[in-house]
Homo-oligomer: A and B are copies of this chain.
Amino acid sequence: MNKHRIAVIPGDGIGVDVINEGIKVIDTAKELTGGFDVEYTHLPWSCEYYLKTGRMMPEDGLDILKDHEAIYLGAVGFPGVPDHISLWGLLLPIRKEFDEYINLRPIKLLKGIQSPLRKGPEDIDFVVVRENVEGEYSGAGGIVHQGTPSETAIQTSIFTRVGTERVIRYAFELARKRGGKKSLISATKSNALNYSMVFWDRVFNEVAKDYPDVTARLMHVDALAGYFILKPEQIDVVVASNLFGDILTDLGSAMQGSIGIAPSANINPEKKYPSMFEPVHGSAPDIAGKGIANPIGAIWTASMMLDFLGESDAARLVFKAMEAVTEEGTYLTADLGGKATTQQVGEAVRNKMRQLV
């Protein structure tokens, strides 16, 4: 029997609540479908941990994680700990050190949920492939003449050939096999970013030659953001740099009706290192501990993780049950206009799984 080792980092705020429900859903999937086992390593790394220890994770944190197939993460960030500490001390090093260079974000409107757009579930169903370890997030730069009128800050984006080509190739492969329109849009801005995005376009056009069956298209990221809300039904797969992907997928998650719904996977496709799975939403300190956070994002993320682990039956079961719950609309959290608690939604999904199996 396959046994999967999963490191669990609930993190801060509502991260704790939603990961709780996600784990119970995974356990239910395991019981119902059989054929695999799961072993969890629970890790309390968070801003609270930082305030106690001065670090977001122990010095050997990455070593501890390395020993797992997957990391299931809630959310990090809490008032009192600056963002750049919570993120550069935990989330971003995990992405970088484990070479999770693919950030996969499905943008799909679930049945029963109203999009802020005048569109239905049949119109919103695409995937954004985001570069996840370099580009605008390279962390290179500095500030000179601090505190004087000449103060100048610079921030340098770094795009390597390997880093650019592999994410574009991954996106073409996905467009080929996804079963959609076999079309790929590359988010660019080469009309203004005259080195990085000119380079990006050149690599894209080169790789495109290997995929004559995929309709490849460049769109400037500004126009593409508009396209997301005007013509989402035209979109199949999008490939984007780290920053562009960040912006486009938050826009996409809003199109899904609530920021509490969207899942994401940070993948090291070679499986040399663990991959990390996290809902797109943040720690939402304002509603933390109230038991009203939407667990759908974390549950959908769990389904993506199961799929990545090769447990596709379990993954499908979780997804189907989850969408059946939103379609029925009896158990929805406040962000979706309902009155259910985090636990009630989790329980509803698990009950539905038992019915569907």
List residues of A whose CB falls within 8 A of some B CB.
Answer: 83-84, 87-88, 92, 114, 116-119, 136-137, 139, 141-143, 145, 148-162, 189-200, 221-223, 225-230, 242-243, 246-251, 253-255, 259
In-complex Cβ contact of A136 among B139, B192, B198 (8 A): B192
In-complex Cβ contact of A143 among B92, B191, B195, B243 (8 A): B195
Given A148-B161, A152-B160, A229-B116, residue A84 in contact with residue B195 (CB < 8 A): no
Contact B160–A157 (Cβ < 8 Å)? no
In-complex Cβ contact of A195 among B83, B88, B141 (8 A): B141
CB distance from A264 to the nearest CB of B (A): 12
CB distance from A195 to the nearest CB of B (A): 4
**Closest chain B residue, CB of each to CB of A253:** B226
In-complex Cβ contact of A225 among B148, B156, B158, B250 (8 A): B250
Contact B197–A155 (Cβ < 8 Å)? yes
Given A196-B153, A243-B192, residue A250 in contact with residue B229 (CB < 8 A): no
Interface centre among A88, A228, A247 (most CB of B within 10 A): A247
Among all A-B residue pairs, the 6 with the closest Cβ atoms: A226-B254, A141-B195, A153-B199, A155-B196, A222-B250, A83-B191
Contact B143–A199 (Cβ < 8 Å)? yes
**Closest chain B residue, CB of each to CB of A148:** B161
Contact A153–B143 (Cβ < 8 Å)? no
Bound complex: CA of A254 vs CA of B197, how far in Å? Answer: 23
Contact A154–B251 (Cβ < 8 Å)? no
CB distance from A65 to the nearest CB of B (A): 21
CB distance from A294 to the nearest CB of B (A): 14
Copies of the protein in its oligomer: 2
**Closest chain B residue, CB of each to CB of A117:** B116
Contact A153–B189 (Cβ < 8 Å)? no
Given A117-B116, A229-B229, A250-B226, residue A154 in contact with residue B255 (CB < 8 A): no
**Closest chain B residue, CB of each to CB of A232:** B116
**Closest chain B residue, CB of each to CB of A200:** B153
**B residues less than 8 Å from A84 (CB atoms):** 190-191, 194, 198
Given contacts A84-B191, A222-B246, 7 further A-B contacts (CB under 8 A): A116-B230, A118-B118, A149-B162, A152-B160, A155-B195, A189-B243, A192-B246
**B residues less than 8 Å from A142 (CB atoms):** 195
Given A87-B192, A194-B88, residue A156 in contact with residue B154 (CB < 8 A): yes
Contact A157–B159 (Cβ < 8 Å)? no
Bound complex: CA of A354 vs CA of B250, how far in Å? Answer: 46
Contact B229–A247 (Cβ < 8 Å)? no
Contact B225–A225 (Cβ < 8 Å)? yes
**B residues less than 8 Å from A228 (CB atoms):** 251
CB distance from A133 to the nearest CB of B (A): 12
Bound complex: CA of A227 vs CA of B250, how far in Å? Answer: 9
Bound complex: CA of A143 vs CA of B196, how far in Å? Answer: 8
**B residues less than 8 Å from A189 (CB atoms):** 243, 246
CB distance from A289 to the nearest CB of B (A): 21
Contact B243–A229 (Cβ < 8 Å)? no
Interface centre among A139, A157, A200 (most CB of B within 10 A): A157
In-complex Cβ contact of A152 among B159, B193, B222, B223 (8 A): B159
Given A196-B141, A251-B251, residue A161 in contact with residue B152 (CB < 8 A): yes
